[in-house]
Structure 1
Amino acid sequence: MKLEELLKRVIWQENEMYNLYKLGETFATYERPELVEVFRLLAEEELRHRKTFEGLLKGKSLEETQVIDYLEALSLEPMLEDERSEPSSLEELIEDAIIREKHAYEFYSKLSEILEGSLAQIMRMMAGEELKHAYRLRFIYEGL
């Protein structure tokens, strides 16, 4: 896999999470109105992640980094294999989102180990946010 393909796949995955959380907002509107704001905030963070990777792609920020040496290994990451989600309920949506957040956490953690400096810090921050999303969703799921 080439770096550009990898970044486009990550952007696609972040956009999928954004769409999933917007759907969660809709489900919550009818089923659990107290959760609408949670899903809105999660969607906003995923949108920010997508924009971060769009900036990395456009600015070619990763082209001279160690990521190049790990492209084949990174292309095997579960996050990059996640397909489009089509949940039929809030519960199913949350189950899928927890798995996807775990995959994203693992992927960004791995990137933070490969990269150096501010790029590594950005990946650590994003990994931390994905982990927080998973914990928040787990808490919500247990309350359903």
Structure 2
Amino acid sequence: MKLEELLQKIVHQENELYNLYKLGETFATYEHPSLIEHFQWLASEELRHKNTIEKFSSEKTLEKTAVIDYVDSLSLEPYFQDERAEPQTLTDLILEALIREKHSYELYKKLSQILSGSLSEIFNMMAQEELKHAYRLKIIYEGLEE
């Protein structure tokens, strides 16, 4: 896998999460209006992550970093095998999003460990944000079960 391909796959994953959260916003509108703002926030976070990665891609930010040496040996395929989600319920959507958030967290954590300096910090911050998303989803999910 080449660096540009890696970045495009990350953009795709972030876009998939964004789309899930926009769908969650729609589900919430009809089923749980109190959750609308949560899904709007989650969608905005994923959009920000997507924009960050697109900027790295367009500015060739990662071109001369250690990531190039590790791209082929990172074993990243599991993070990119998620099929397009087509949840039928809000519960299904949350469970799907939790899996994707976990994959994003693990990927960003790996990248933060390979990189150094501010790039490492950015990917570590994004990993921590994915954990926050998963935690919020878990709370929403538990609220639906009550």
Same fold per TM (> 0.5)?
Answer: yes
In structure 2, relative to structure 1, the CA distance for the partners of 1:127 and 1:102 (3 Å cut) is: same
Which position in structure 2 is the counterpart of 1:27?
27
**Deviation (angstroms), 1:107:** 0.5
TM-score by length of 2: 0.96
Give the total of aligned pairs.
144
**Deviation (angstroms), 1:75:** 5.0
Which position in structure 2 is the counterpart of 1:117?
117
1:130 aligns with 2:110: no
> Which letter maps to 1:78?
P
> Which letter maps to 1:110?
K
Residues in 1 aligned to 2:15 and 2:85: alpha-carbon distance in whole angstroms: 12
Structure 1 residue runs of 5 or longer lacking an equivalent are none
Does the aligned pair in 2 maintain the 1:77–1:107 contact within 8 Å?
no
Structure 2 residue runs of 5 or longer lacking an equivalent are none
Residues in 2 aligned to 1:79 and 1:101: alpha-carbon distance in whole angstroms: 10
Which position in structure 2 is the counterpart of 1:91?
91
- RMSD (Å), alpha carbons: 0.9
After TM superposition, the structure 1 stretch with the greater mean CA deviation from structure 2, 98-107 or 72-81, is 72-81
**Deviation (angstroms), 1:73:** 2.9
Q: Which runs of 4+ in 1 moved over 3 A?
A: none
Q: How do 1:62-101 residues align onto structure 2 when only pairs under 5 Å count?
A: 62-74=62-74, 76-101=76-101
**Deviation (angstroms), 1:70:** 1.1
Does the aligned pair in 1 maintain the 2:76–2:107 contact within 8 Å?
no
TM-score by length of 1: 0.97
Residues in 2 aligned to 1:100 and 1:73: alpha-carbon distance in whole angstroms: 21
